[in-house]
Amino acid sequence: MLKIRNLDAGYGNLRVLKNISLHVDGGEIVTMIGANGAGKTTLLSTVIGLVQPTSGSIAFMDQDCAPLASRHIVASGCVLVPEGRQVFAPMSVEENLILGGYVLQKKEGKAAVYRELKHQYDLFPVLRERRNQLAGTLSGGEQQMLAMGRALMSRPRLVMMDEPSTGLAPLVVRDIFKVIVQLRKEGNTVLLVEQNAKAALSIADRGYVLETGKIIVQGPAEDLLANQDVQRAYLGREKID
């Protein structure tokens, strides 16, 4: 579904990603773990078209998406749930969700948007309860659910998530990861970027470890969980119920 080959990218003269190659197959949860500054957010930003690669290739559904604008990449079925949620604070929960359905409305009309809205309310019942509440007044966990629901309103094929557990209480993190597992059951494919390595690897099929812009380890999630170097660097202090 997603194939990245020999990718370099960065900001001006700063080279952040260095010869990155990875793939995500349909129906997988693939996680990318690494410390702050490793290049994880830059990778997702490059895939979604916010950062332009300096070399290498990015193919989504066998289409070269490197030269495409972000709106075209989203329309093709690849979406990003950004770090820090970035909900539209002055708008209501429902207005945020409907805005996320603009691609679906173009393709299938308003009725499809409202059918998908119902599905998101079923997936995130708290959003139904808060539907008329301003997004900026939600808790951190509720905002994360809203950001996820807004992205899912376009019925994407690939959902990329950037640090969905950041700043959330452990019980909320557990609920967020349960939803990610549910997304796969519903046929979605997920590329998950996380610092909470143990939580991410516990639900993933495969994983990559990114360090200073390079992939240093990759493999099945269970192998990474058992890898002593990964344990020492990323798993020592993390807990998940």
Is residue 144 pLDDT above 70, yes or no?
yes
Is residue 241 pLDDT above 50, yes or no?
no
pLDDT at 84: 87
pLDDT at 238: 43
Q: Which tokens is 212 given?
A: 């200073």
pLDDT at 79: 97
pLDDT at 47: 97
Nearest to 174 by CA among 238, 236, 240, 121: 240
pLDDT at 239: 41
pLDDT digits (tens, 9 = 90+) for 11-31: 999 999 999 999 999 999 999
pLDDT at 26: 96
What CATH superfamily is the domain 1-77+157-241? P-loop containing nucleotide triphosphate hydrolases (3.40.50.300)
Q: Which helix (H) or strand (E) holds 17?
A: strand 14-24
Q: How far apart are CA 37 and CA 23, in angstroms?
A: 22
Q: Where are the domains of the chain?
A: 1-77+157-241, 87-155
Mean pLDDT of the chain: 93
Q: 133: which DSSP letter?
A: S
Is residue 196 pLDDT above 90, yes or no?
no
104, 154 Cβ separation under 8 angstroms? yes
Cα-Cα-Cα-Cα dihedral sign, residues 63, 67, 72, 74: positive
Q: Which tokens is 169 given?
A: 């209480």
For residue 91, with 0-12 CB atoms within 10 Å meaning exposed, 13-18 middle and 19 or more buried, which class applies?
Answer: middle
Is residue 218 pLDDT above 50, yes or no?
yes
54, 8 Cβ separation under 8 angstroms? yes
DSSP string, 184-197: HHTT-EEEEEES-H
